[in-house]
Structure formats: structure tokens, C-alpha cells
Amino acid sequence: MLTTILIANRGEIACRVAATARRMGIRTVAVYSDADAQALHVRHCDAAVHIGGSAAADSYLRGDAIIAAAQASGAQAVHPGYGFLSENADFAQACLDAGLVFIGPPPDAIRAMGLKAQSKELMGRAGVPLVPGYHGADQDAALLQREADRIGYPVLIKASAGGGGKGMRVVDAAGDFAAALASCQREAVSSFGNSAVLIEKYVQRPRHIEIQVFGDSHGNYLHLFERDCSVQRRHQKVLEEAPAPGMTQALRAQMGAAAVAAARAVGYVGAGTVEFIVEQTGYDQPESMQFFFMEMNTRLQVEHPVTEAITGLDLVEWQLRVASGEPLPLRQEQLQINGHAIEARICAEDPEKNFLPAVGPLAVFRIPDCSRFTVGAVRMDSGVGAGDRISPFYDPMLAKLIVHGRTRDEALARLDAALAQVHIAGLATNVQFLRRVVASSAFAGAALDTALITRETAQLFGQDALGVQRAVASAVARLLRDERALESADPFSRRDGWQSHGETLRRLDWVYADATLTTMLRYGHDGSVTLQMDDESHALQVEQGDAPFALCIRCGTQEWRADVDWLDGVAHVFTPQGAGSIRRADPLAQHQAEVLHGGLNAPMPGKVLQMVVQVCERVVAGQTLALMEAMKMEHSIRAPFAGVVAELFYASGEQVAEGAALIRLEPSDSAPGTA
């Protein structure tokens, strides 16, 4: 058995690998960049080695620095986690050449599956079903257009060396193909250093179902059943579950056999995932489902915990045992499914702004107390903590919340209850969006396909589960509790304007969902408080609650629990029903409008990929003006109105800070030289 391993990754997966290694008595070595000097994964390992600058290219993608760190620290093996160098065959070979065990498949297996076009040819020879498409080496743009026309629209363009939803575009019409191809190729070069793409028929009403496979160095292979990963945004997974709803035993056996055949065809060793696209005639017709090979991920997957939950196995332990030369611990017939598990990816991003990644401090980061649930029912994998700062250099995923239940309905109920106990403030997250997805009729009813989020837009976006009255009353309740605590220590600190005669009133102004409102507090001599809002008055009572909601609030006839955090004049309110924020307004302050028109700013730190327009160029509303890259994703900066480009402040390739003005756009009716 290995005694020391280096974890060539960061964040929650590095913490996850370290936890299993620690349980097995294996010493762990972390690596870290400048940005991660105080990161959680560094503290979770027995030793840590600095490997370079904050950008991934200067640290986590430097195979030479990682191998040198492994050798200097006495590590026998390297665990790559997922992302970064986990599917880099040259890095795997370099580890072997340096006398290190690579905890993953052989380099040849990574190469065979790393390029999608070649892997599909290999799978076709192995008898694995394939989606109709073009996987050839000729990348002439005109040829690719003709192939797309031949296949028939809609088609999917995919980076041949890609993964994680990057370098991928859906094209609905022939006229859109050229622009989509160029964008896909730019993102492919940026993410993978390879512009090659393949084109496939875009399957209608598709489900994304994958099979977890394992192989060892003794020629043994098996699968650990399936996961459904259909709920996606930007071709990246949001929720994953196991087993797949509606899966028949016959289809599970067929897909499992195909996945094992794929692993055997490349001499696979270790943990891998064979991903299939599944076409369905109807959501309630599992017998109509047909599956096609998409790709094989030659590493551990982000969503592996749901497989662990339904099998009771530790897949990282299996990885370490197989890498140590041991045979697989179990045979196929010894494996069975127990219950249902769902994983939610908690990310620093704003769903209301097309999932724009967020950066900044985690001023508040509270997670569910797993001991309050049934043993093994709730698990939280994270690589961050309160006070950490989320940088623009890496993926925006903060944590993974995994729940397990005897049935899918039980797992759904536990997931919503646990998500309600995830309290994050300081930057935007997708927690409330996840709660809406879980509660949606489509997801709850297992009407699954990769277009679920798009299809259910009305239910998932622009919703307010908190409500203005609950938001105001919760913020006031926290103010009152804090003031009473201060008064008990210093009676001269009363803020209620108490007087011996007459009525005591206190005005509080708020901004909620861009609307300004005024409330009045009436203090009674008996200690009572009345909240007046919108010409209605409600008695307000505040009592101490219990974790995870510290306040028990009664406002009129309504009662609820809440946790409230004040940050820079903003109350972040968390309740079992939903969460939101409300800002304290100062009616005497003079506010100046930011910019009425013209300011097109960087939504977050990143790099200008391309200034698409030139000075004096006329543009229409919605037209793409610039392309930015941030947190490994490409973002379009679009014109908010028709006008004329007056000034460009940056050139292609330049780094920009969050909020930096990129372009000055003048409305058509005010631009110089217009009529």
C-alpha cells in the first residue's frame, strides 16, 4: 500500500482525497498557488509545497513543478483529482518516468479517450452505440459547415479535446454555424490548447446518463451503476443523482455492459466514467430510451459521491488500492443499489445574470449540521470556509451537497431541507436557484432532459420566495435583538427614543428588489413593538431560535424562523422558505446616478479576448461588442441600446479588473454626426 501521496489539485476534491487517505493512514502532500496559500486544502494535508503564481497556467497546470514537489516531499504517487492535469496523458507519462505512481489510468488509455473523434472510432469498433456525426481530422471550416448541413440541424459542435461543457455550442440553423464554430474554437484553444472540433446530431429531449466504471491491473472490470446528470446550465452539470429515475433493469444492464466494453477496449485501470446521451420519446416511457456514447472521462468525477452513497463504497479508497497494485475489492455480482442519492453543486455565480461567476469574500459560510439528520443522509464536500476569498482564477464551485434517502422523494425532501441551511453571504451564489429547481414540478416529477432549466424558466428565474414583509420583519428583528443585547450591557445605549409620555415612533427606510419602502416602529411602554408597513400594522415579537435559524419571529398572525447577517448596511435573511437581502436606506443621503448611458463595464476580473467592434462603428441593441474570458468561461459584452462606438478603453489580450469600463457607447440620437 502507498504510504505518501501528493494531491495535484485544490479545493474540495483535494480535501476529499486527503480525508480518505488520512483514514487509511496515508500521508498527504498538498500543492498550492499564491492565491491558495491559506486555502483549506493546504491545512487538511500533512505537508504542502508552493508551486507558482495564482493563474492555473503558473501553478496547477505546471506538471514539472508538481513532479518536483512530489519528489522533494517523498511522495510515491500523484493523485490528480479532476480538472487541471487529471486527463493529461503527457503528465501521466511524466509521473511514471519520474518513478511516481499516477493514480489514474495508463497514459495510452487517456490518449485513446482524450480526443473525442478518435475515441468514437474506437468505441464504434468495440460495438458501443454512437450518435450520428462527423469526427474526422479535416478541420476546414467549409467542410465542417457541409457536414453539419448533411447531419441536419440542430447540431452540436464540441471541442475534440474538451470536457466540462467548454468549447461546446448548439447550432439551430445553417446561418448560425460559422459564428458558433469560431467561438467554440476560441474557447477550445483557451481551455485545451487544441482547436479541433467534432460535430454531432443534437439529440432532442436528451438525458445525460453516465456509468461509473473501474478496472485494475489484473484485468478485472466492473461498473457501479449509473448517474443521471441531465440538469445542466451552459452544458455544465447542476444536479446529479443515482440511480437514474425511470431506468429499467434491462437498459441498466445494456449500458453497464457497453461501459465495461469501452473500458476494456483501452485497457483501463482505475476510476473512469463512460458518458452516454440518451434519447427518449417521452418522460414516462423508459422502454423507448436509446443510448449513444458521448465520451469517457478518464478520472474521478465531481459527482462520484452519489455513487458512493447508493453503494456504500469509498471510490477514492478503491483508487488508492488499485494504484497500489491490489485487485478490485468486489465483483460485479456483489454490488447492489441502496436507496437514492442527489448532489447539488453550490457555485459562486448569479443565476439571474446568466450564471455569471462571482468573486469576493465569503463573509458568511454556514453549512448544514449533518449530525441533525439521519446518519449518512447528508454530506457536504467543500474546500472553502468563512473568511476565504473567491478569486477569478479557478472554477466557481464552492461545495457539493449530497443527500441520501430510501426513496427519491425522501432524498428530494432532505435536499431542500439541507439547502435551506446553507447560508452564504458576501457574493452571489446559486443556492436559492437550486432550491427552485428541486421544487419544480419537472425535476420533482423526474421529467428530465438537458433543456430542463431552459424549459422551466418561468418557475426558476425572477422568483421571490422570501417576500417583502418577511424580509423587512426579519431585518428589524435582528436589529431589535442586537439593540436589546447592547442595552442589557449599557442602558444608556437605548435606540428606541423612549420617552415618559406620548407615543414613541421610529422610522426605518429600506430598499428591497430595487423598490424603496418606509416602515415605522411603534414602541409600547409595556415593551411591545408594532411594525407598520403599507398602512398595515402588525405586532412584532422576537425570540431566540435554535440552530440553524437563530431567531423565532412573529409578525401579526405569521410566524417563521430566520437567520440574519448584517454586512455593510445589507441584511442577508435566511429562512426555511427562502432567502434574500434587504438594504437599509438613508433618506437624507444624496445619491448620484452611476451612468445613464455609455458605460459598458467588465462584469468581473478577466481577459479581453477580442474587441469585436471599432470606434465610430454603428451597432444595434444586443449586438456583441467584446468577448471576455473569466473563470474558464467565455462571456459576451453586448450593446444595451443602438448607438455608435465612441471609445475603446482596452485591446484584445489585456487583463481587466471587475467594473473596468471597456467601451463607451453613445446612443444614436446623441452620437456626433447623427441627425
DSSP-derived pairing of the beta strands 101-102 and 155-159: unpaired
Report the distance separating Cα 508 and Cα 571, nearest Å: 13
Kindly report each contact of residues 19-23 with a partner whose C-beta sits within 8 Å and lies 24 or more positions away, as own/partner. 19/44, 20/314, 20/316, 20/317, 20/320, 21/316, 21/320, 23/317
Which residues touch 187 (CB under 8 Å, ≥6 apart)?
159, 166, 167, 634
| Dihedrals phi, psi of 196, to nearest 5 degrees | -65, 140
Q: Cell digits for 662?
A: 471597456
Catalytic hit among 62, 233, 299, 561: 299
Report the distance separating Cα 31 and Cα 167, nearest Å: 28
Report the distance separating Cα 675 and Cα 669, nearest Å: 7
Which residues touch 256 (CB under 8 Å, ≥6 apart)?
211, 223, 225, 226
DSSP structure string for 230-248: EEEETTEEEEEEESPTT--
Report the distance separating Cα 135 and Cα 115, nearest Å: 10
Q: Cell digits for 27?
A: 500521508
CB contact at 8 A, 11 and 397: yes
CB contact at 8 A, 398 and 387: no
Report the distance separating Cα 29 and Cα 72, nearest Å: 10
CB contact at 8 A, 666 and 595: no
Provide the total of helices (H) and of strands (E) in the chain, helices listed first: 17, 39
* C-alpha dihedral sign at 258, 260, 261, 262: positive
Report the distance separating Cα 339 and Cα 408, nearest Å: 8
Reply yes or no: is the peptide bond before residue 154 cis, omega within 30 of 0.
yes
Full 3-state SS string of 390-410: ECCCCCCEEEEEEEEECCHHH
Q: Cell digits for 280?
A: 427518449
CB contact at 8 A, 356 and 349: yes
CB contact at 8 A, 197 and 184: yes
Reply yes or no: is the peptide bond before residue 548 cis, omega within 30 of 0.
yes
Report the distance separating Cα 624 and Cα 608, nearest Å: 13
Longest dimension (CA), the chain: 92
- Mark whether 299 is an active-site residue: yes
Reduced to 3 states (helix: H, G, I; strand: E, B; else coil), residue 501 is coil
DSSP structure string for 365-394: EE---GGGSSTTSEEEEES--TT-EE-TTS
Catalytic residues: 299
